[in-house]
Amino acid sequence: MRNNSDIAGNLSFLNLADVLQLLGSNGATGTLKLTSRYATGPGYIYLSKGNPINASNNSQQGLEALLSLFGWLDGEFDFTQDSVDSDKVIKKNRMEIILDALRMLDEGEIEKLGPVTAEKLTASAPGKSSSVPFINGPLVDYMYVVDEESFYDGEKIIKTGQHGSWIWAILEGAIDIIKETPDGPLTILRLGNGAFIGSLSSFLVQGNIRSATAVAVGNVQLAVLDSQRLAKEFAVCSSEFRNFLISFDQRLKRATESAVAIKTGNNSFKQRLSNKKPYIKQGKKEQRLFKIVKGEATIVRKSDSGLVPLVDLVEGDFFGQIPFLDMGHEPDSASVLISKDLKASKVDPVQLQKEYNKLSPTFQNLIDSIATCISVTSAIACTSQPQKVRKQ
């Protein structure tokens, strides 16, 4: 895809402000394309002699679109030199746009899109709490698709408690992930193109039980993935890596339960944190990775609304820095509290990284997609933390 591009890279390394300054001081003319898996579609910025003249971000156009793109903290940029025939819609000075956009970003006027860090997602927008986070994935690799299925608006694709081990990827459309709660069904996430439905535990036992309900929003086209092929890939991994993946998969379920508990207000907050003491503090540069041998731990994030428990970990689970994953539970965005009887062993992250690199792109995407869901779910937990426990 990058055949014609003149400069391309990752926004988490070089952010839009830097990219625009770089293109600006080179007097570049052409199209800057931004893609993010957290956005519904790509964004475009048209430059003439180094100055942005127009932009689009899905339904937005012009300056409004350009400013909104500064919120894309994670994603790819791709600049291609060409003659731009767009009208000069944006007339503001380049540096003015950049400085103004950063001010708006800092004041919370521009919504941030990206893996959710300690800085919270959109706590600044309580009015928007009804909107459901949206997750996209990468392109679906047809090598792994065995069949396609269509669902109509409102149709249930999977139901909580049902047995089933299919894994789908969304080709077109969107689906809502819904959890059953005592107060009725609760929509947690909306998945879009490229996102996966199903979990890794499908490879484990016959008859995996679905932990949530998936409902089509509009008409949806799904790709049925070759689970046998994926299962085979899973089977040849080392037992260490398999255990890691299973624990990782379980983590999404437990993080979701934790978020739902907070959202519905019936959390046993104090109970979960009592008898536990801090082990790794949020923001600490901790490069090691641990596996729990005995005892319990809780991953906790410090947010504007106080401490928020994200997930409880038990024997066999991992905490610390995982090099290839970004799920918002790493030491730079969350603390680890441990029980008194905790025993943990060190794990070599390099070995895990090697095994991860050996996996097929589809399998890697599946893992990344789970990590994104964990990250977003944790952010939901933080923004739904009720007032009464904020003092902690």
Partner 1 sequence: MAVFNAKKREIECKIVYYGPGRCGKTTNLEYVHKAYTKQVSGEMVSINTEGDRTLFFDFLPMGLGKIKDCNVRVQLYTVPGQVKYSSTRKLVLRGVDGLVFVADSLKVRREKNMLSLKDLHNNLKEYGLSIFKVPLVMQFNKRDLTVPIMSIEDMANDLNKQLKSPIFPASAINGQGVGITLKECLKLTLVDLKRQLQWTN
123 or 314: CB nearest partner 1: 123
79 or 269: CB nearest partner 1: 79
Give me the least distance between CB of 372 and partner 1, in Å please.
23
116 or 337: CB nearest partner 1: 116
Give me the least distance between CB of 94 and partner 1, in Å please.
9
Q: Which of 217, 180, 164, 179 is nearest to 195 (CA)?
A: 217
Give me the least distance between CB of 95 and partner 1, in Å please.
5
99 or 350: CB nearest partner 1: 99
Type of residue found at 303:
S
Give me the least distance between CB of 96 and partner 1, in Å please.
4
Give me the least distance between CB of 64 and partner 1, in Å please.
17
Give me the least distance between CB of 100 and partner 1, in Å please.
5
Instruction: Classify residue 303 as exposed, middle or buried by CB count within 10 Å of its CB (0-12, 13-18, 19+).
Output: buried
Q: How many CA atoms lie within 13 A of 327 on its CB side?
A: 27
Spatial contact of 259 and 175, defined as CB atoms under 8 Å apart: no
Spatial contact of 326 and 371, defined as CB atoms under 8 Å apart: yes
250 or 282: CB nearest partner 1: 282
Alpha carbons 62 and 46: distance in angstroms, whole number: 10
DSSP 39-84: SSS-EEEEEETTEEEEEEETTEEHHHHHHHHTTB-SSEEEEEE---
37 or 112: CB nearest partner 1: 112
Residue with tokens 């990219």: 19
91 or 270: CB nearest partner 1: 91
| C-alpha pair distances (Å), 194 with each of 90, 214, 220 | 33, 15, 12
17 or 389: CB nearest partner 1: 17
Which residues lie closer than 8 Å to 197 by C-beta, 6 or more apart?
Answer: 157, 158, 167, 168, 169, 170, 175, 191, 214, 222
Alpha carbons 339 and 297: distance in angstroms, whole number: 6
Give me the least distance between CB of 249 and partner 1, in Å please.
35
Residues near partner 1 (CB under 8 A): 17-18, 25-27, 93, 95-96, 98-100, 102-103, 105-107
Enter the tokens of residue 228.
């046998």
Q: How many CA atoms lie within 13 A of 90 on its CB side?
A: 26
18 or 155: CB nearest partner 1: 18
**Residues facing residue 294 across a β-bridge:** 343
52 or 198: CB nearest partner 1: 52
Give me the least distance between CB of 247 and partner 1, in Å please.
34
Alpha carbons 2 and 5: distance in angstroms, whole number: 5
Alpha carbons 44 and 46: distance in angstroms, whole number: 7
Cα separation of the two ends of the chain: 49
Give me the least distance between CB of 70 and partner 1, in Å please.
9
**Residues facing residue 56 across a β-bridge:** 44, 61
Give me the least distance between CB of 288 and partner 1, in Å please.
24
